[in-house]
Amino acid sequence: MPMPDRLHRFLFEHADVRGEVVQLDDAFAEVVRRTDHPPAVQRLIGEGLAAAALLAATLKFRGSLSLQLQSAGPLSLLLVQAGSDGSLRAMARTNGEVPADAPLDRQAAGGSLAITIDPEDAGERYQGIVDPGGGRLADALERYFRESEQLATRVWLAAGEGHAAGMLLQRLPGGEGGDADAWNRAGHLADTVTEAELRELAPGELIRRLFHEEDIRLFDPTPLRFRCRCDRRRVASMLHGLGAEEMRDILAEQGQVEVHCDFCNEPYRFDAVDIEELFADPATRAPDSPARH
């Protein structure tokens, strides 16, 4: 049986090719159960989770990676975040019905795909932006690597029936591998994979089935999980940034201030006493108040 929520790295021996396979059951299910998105949007969320996990695994430092697809089309926002600690979370917003099995230029018309890398410690924040184009999310990611990173990279993504999965192949830069044809051969072999195989086969079996004639080194899997970073303090900092007047207006109208996290839908409620304490206590004025918690 497949081992859910794991990322498996592998390497072609004697060649400048590396790969990853990720499968997500629990994390995908946790995100989906907290929302009421239709299947077309759920598929995009699943593909985005798998993609972010694959990309975050390439980071050489502690930090986080965000994949953000934003548009004026039916899919107005897809935001997925993956941490170097294996944490994943995702959210989506729609503006009308998102057509199923349609290219991104219909689902997210006029949109842009941004990949943002935030180092946890000292380091410069990096962002690359590409046109999503008319294919699927995997095609857009390949374009990102080609245009922003100048790295030969292939990506396969699949989501549905409660499973999300992905595979990435990358040609290592500046290597001196002895098998000059390995990159092309690996791509041709990987192109035979079906979405069902990607979702359902155990990663070790999938890798062996695709590359059974290759000399492959398989590394220990990395566990992944759904985890949202929201908490009451972060939400309080956000409310503080909106100002006392606006908060008191909401209290007068609704009797309380209620905020739901965009990612996990967790409710945070503040009554009149909470709001007065919020603006009376300087300790709540966190310098890193996030606009989106």
Token code pair at residue 122: 């000292």
- For 45-101, the pLDDT digits (tens) are 999 999 999 999 988 778 899 999 999 999 999 999 999 899 999 999 999 999 998
CB-count burial class (<10 Å; 0-12, 13-18, 19+) for 66: middle
Cα–Cα distance measured from residue 21 to residue 165, given in angstroms and rounded to the nearest whole number: 7
Q: 3-state DSSP call for residue 236?
A: helix
Instruction: List the pLDDT tens digit at each of the 293 positions of the chain.
Output: 445 799 999 999 988 999 999 999 999 999 999 888 999 999 999 999 999 999 999 887 788 999 999 999 999 999 999 998 999 999 999 999 999 989 999 999 999 999 999 988 767 888 999 999 889 999 999 999 998 888 899 999 999 988 999 999 999 876 555 677 899 999 999 999 999 999 999 999 999 999 999 999 999 999 999 998 888 888 888 888 888 888 888 888 898 899 888 888 888 899 888 888 888 855 544 444 444 44
At 248, the amino acid letter reads R
Closest to 241 (Cα-Cα) out of 216, 224, 259: 259
| Model confidence, pTM | 0.85
- For 108-136, the pLDDT digits (tens) are 999 999 999 998 876 788 899 999 988 99
Cα–Cα distance measured from residue 80 to residue 154, given in angstroms and rounded to the nearest whole number: 20
At 126, the amino acid letter reads Y
Do the beta carbons of residue 100 and residue 68 sit within 8 Å?
no
Cα–Cα distance measured from residue 151 to residue 170, given in angstroms and rounded to the nearest whole number: 7
Domains of the chain, start order? 6-226 (3.55.30.10), 232-284 (3.90.1280.10)
Q: What single-letter DSSP state applies at residue 219?
A: P
Closest to 75 (Cα-Cα) out of 53, 52, 115, 103: 103
Closest to 198 (Cα-Cα) out of 11, 16, 46: 46
Cα–Cα distance measured from residue 273 to residue 279, given in angstroms and rounded to the nearest whole number: 10
User: Using only C-alpha atoms, what is the Rg of the chain?
Assistant: 21
